[in-house]
Amino acid sequence: MTSAPVQPPTGPAAPRPAAPGPEDPPAVRLDRVSRRYGDAYAVRDLSLDIAPGEFFSLLGPSGCGKTTTLRMIGGFADPTDGAVLLGGQDVTGLPPHLRDVNTVFQSYALFDHLSIADNVAFGLRRKGVGRAEIRSRVADMLDLVQLDGLADRRPRTLSGGQRQRVALARALVNRPQVLLLDEPLAALDLRLRRRMQVELKQIQREIGITFVFVTHDQDEALTMSDRVAVMEEGRIAQCGTPEDVYERPANGFVASFMGTSNLVPGVFRDGRVHVDGGPVLPVGERPDIAEGGRVHLAVRPEKIWLSDFEPGMTLADGVVRETVYSGATTTYLVELAPGVSVAALEQNTDRSRREDRWIGGEPVTVGWRPEHCLVLD
């Protein structure tokens, strides 16, 4: 499915801040924060630095603590332990309106009885900003989010994507130090959500404000973020660039949560993984795992080859158990040993397309480059 090309935001905006220097404090610092409800921890002993101007995502399944973490940054929830700092200043215990942050919620929380311009101006009026400055800043912000011709409309007359832009403009017009976004694209359909991902990242680059983005969508985090923190049970399982967390997951949870990953069980011995009841597979970089330790060998489906193997690749024989055609790709489920299977994804290009696709029950050889597999304890 294709969509219309995304046009970069145009029009006046606040000047982009200079790149942070080595002495600049983090835009957000969480110093060993915890949030406890009775005996249950929503967030436990979490420390994190987010740089000025960074697009940072908190990613994880429901109940992992990502929204609670966002609420503690915004002042909507107080940490049971630890401290929250914004720009080097301790704001722990301060209410939201005394923090230099704004929040865009999943519901957008727009006022249907007000025009789009009045919705955007709402926070400025509460701060006592003069009328002329309000008009100028609202016009600039509507221009930035490409709604300059809709200032007199009501929110109920807009599409979901347009309402999302209004909520974003209302939050940005106050020029906060940090903008918090709590799954703001979740209510949009898939096509519009993908378009808004690109537009939101473009706007963030244009204005240079630190964005802290909460999502459970792995593709969304990979597409938009400078860095991603993958959360599990109130802790950060891994924090790094999108490439880091996808290509070099720290453990089995990150590997399986960040898209599809084959986790092949076995025992690590003599620099190889002895698959349970199956082949012995060499690995690339030798992991820091004791001899005889139980492991999972992780390799992404798109890294597995089904033909045209290169010298030095790791090869394993198996049997095709299932074939799933998805238009642009075909996925083969290949059994390497009883109860042990891997998914191999092949692009349906002219080069790879074959009339006699592998079918269920057919023997096949799979292979991958050693550097494309990880051994996880």
**pLDDT score, position 290:** 82
Taking only the tens place, the pLDDT of each residue in 80-136 is 999 999 999 999 999 998 999 998 887 778 898 999 999 999 988 888 889 999 999
Query: Domain span at residue 269?
Result: 263-376
**pLDDT score, position 18:** 44
Phi (first) and psi of residue 203, to 5 degrees:
-65, -40
Task: For residue 6, give every residue at least 6 positions away whose Cβ sits within 8 Å of its Cβ, in sequence order, or none.
Answer: 195, 198, 199, 202
Q: Are residues 75 and 181 in the same domain?
A: yes
Task: For residue 15, give every residue at least 6 positions away whose Cβ sits within 8 Å of its Cβ, in sequence order, or none.
Answer: 208
Q: Are residues 222 and 326 in the same domain?
A: no
Hey, is 20 helix, strand or coil? coil
Q: Are residues 294 and 336 in the same domain?
A: yes
Segment of 16-20, 23-27, 29-33, 282-286 carrying the highest mean pLDDT:
29-33
Q: Are residues 275 and 239 in the same domain?
A: no
Domain presence at residue 105: no
Domain total in the chain: 2
Domain presence at residue 78: yes
Domain presence at residue 9: no
Give me the chain's average pLDDT, please.
Answer: 87
Q: Are residues 232 and 351 in the same domain?
A: no
Choose the final residue of a domain: 213, 247, 281: 247
Domain presence at residue 276: yes
Hey, is 102 helix, strand or coil? strand
Q: Are residues 50 and 87 in the same domain?
A: yes
**Model-wide pTM > 0.85:** no
Q: Are residues 223 and 292 in the same domain?
A: no
Tokens of 93: 């215990």
Residue 165: DSSP 8-state: H
Q: Are residues 352 and 278 in the same domain?
A: yes
Of the pLDDT bands very low, low, confident and very high (cuts 50, 70, 90), residue 22 is: low
**pLDDT score, position 351:** 52
Taking only the tens place, the pLDDT of each residue in 37-96 is 998 999 999 999 999 999 999 999 999 999 999 999 999 999 999 999 999 999 999 999
Of the pLDDT bands very low, low, confident and very high (cuts 50, 70, 90), residue 369 is: very high
CATH code of the domain in which 75 resides? 3.40.50.300
Rounded percentage of the chain residues whose pLDDT exceeds 70: 92
Rounded percentage of the chain residues whose pLDDT exceeds 90: 51
Phi (first) and psi of residue 81, to 5 degrees:
-140, 160
